[in-house]
Amino acid sequence: MNLFFLPIDHPLVNLNYSYAKNRDTALSVYKSMEKMINKSIILMGLVLMTSLMACAQKQDKEVANKTTSKMGWNKLTKEEEDVIVRKGTEYPGTGKLLNNTAKGTYTCKRCNASLYRSESKFESECGWPSFDDEIKGAVLRIPDADGSRTEIVCANCKAHLGHVFFGEGFTAKSTRNCVNSISMNFVPDK
């Protein structure tokens, strides 16, 4: 297959003669270049196919009750939007989940994704529900712009939850996820 689409006698191809002593050497150079281009095209095709196949891999199944699209998110009140969307903070000591001691799962108010288990909740007397561990992969940590604190958000819908603090010694894990009650729902164990 001739990828140059030019006959060997074409003037542009004949430029190779300046590097060759005779027509046979020029033809050999021409054939070598053609083989190199063929191999390059095959290699690029393989790379493209591999990358397309990697993109087509099936993702892990989502938790059944978690809503992944904005259209399916729960409708929020103005107060909930102030905290969840505009990254506000509810007044300390006012959250309905602050003193909850029932066994169950704390979920995101906006998308229903599971965030924390009741076993990781502890009393820190800070005015907001505190957890020393989140459900694996459920919460993202994002440094605040000023660098002094670390924000926590729902990994699924990016709803603002609160902030995480380290090294305070409240628990063996020495981690305190300080979460706004208004950012969560509670689903009791059955």
How many angstroms separate the CA atoms of 126 and 136, rounded?
24
Q: Count Cβ atoms below 10 Å from residue 34 Cβ, excluding itself.
A: 14
Amino acid at 121: K
Angle formed at CA 185 by CA 183 and CA 187, multiple of 5 degrees: 155
Concerning whether 154 is annotated as a catalytic residue, the answer is no
For the chain, helix, strand, coil in percent to 5 are: 30, 20, 50
**CB atoms < 10 A from the CB of 119, how many?**
11
Please tell me which residue in 111, 154, 157, 178 is annotated as part of the active site. Answer: 178
Residues annotated as catalytic (active site), given as ranges: 178
